[in-house]
Amino acid sequence: MSLSITLTLNGTERRIALDDARVTLLDLLRERLDLTGTKKGCDRGQCGACTVLVDGRRTNSCLTLAATLDGARVTTIEGLARGDALHPVQQAFIDNDGFQCGYCTPGQIMSAVGLIAEGTAGDDPERIREGMSGNICRCAAYHGITLAVAQAARRMDNDPAGDAA
């Protein structure tokens, strides 16, 4: 049975035919739409490597059936930068060495964008760590990640137009 959905993906409306109603958003992004920035880690919703924004909220794409997203707005790591201008969170990760091997970085960045948009992290390292706890970094770059989220939150508070998400 074929099913058709419409997504606004990184700002562009896309009509997508699904041959299998059981396909996850993660597999749709990576295997059908060639958006490989979203990573498959555990494929069980435990590591956060697959985090994307759905209608502005942090979502584990490995647990989300694509068929349930008709009409949704999906933002992936590929949709954050505007041309050569990095999103403030992306720049903050570079400025603060918020990554080591880089495998978890797209999910960490997407989670940070969502966390900042929720307005719950502020500049408090403990609240940032708690808010980012759904994203695991096997290299233990947590200190740099926490500094990056705090820096980006400050920058985005001072310049709300700098939020490219």
Dihedral sign from CA coordinates of 99, 105, 109, 111:
negative
What pLDDT is recorded for position 160?
A: 59
- The strand pair at 12-18 and 73-75 is best described as unpaired
State the pLDDT at residue 123. 85
The stretches of 97-164 forming alpha helices (DSSP H) are 105-118, 125-131, 142-158
Check residue 164 and give its pLDDT: 45
Report the half-sphere exposure of 4 (CA within 13 A, side-chain side): 2
Q: How high is the pLDDT of residue 162?
A: 52
**Cβ count near 131 (within 10 Å):** 22
pLDDT on residue 141: 95
Domains and CATH numbers, the chain: 3-79 (3.10.20.30), 88-162 (1.10.150.120)
- On whether the pTM is more than 0.85, the answer is yes
Q: What is the pLDDT along the chain (165 residues), one digit of tens a residue?
A: 689 999 999 999 999 999 999 999 999 999 999 999 999 999 999 999 999 999 999 999 999 999 999 999 999 999 999 999 999 999 999 999 999 999 999 999 999 999 999 998 788 999 999 999 999 999 999 999 999 999 999 999 887 555 444
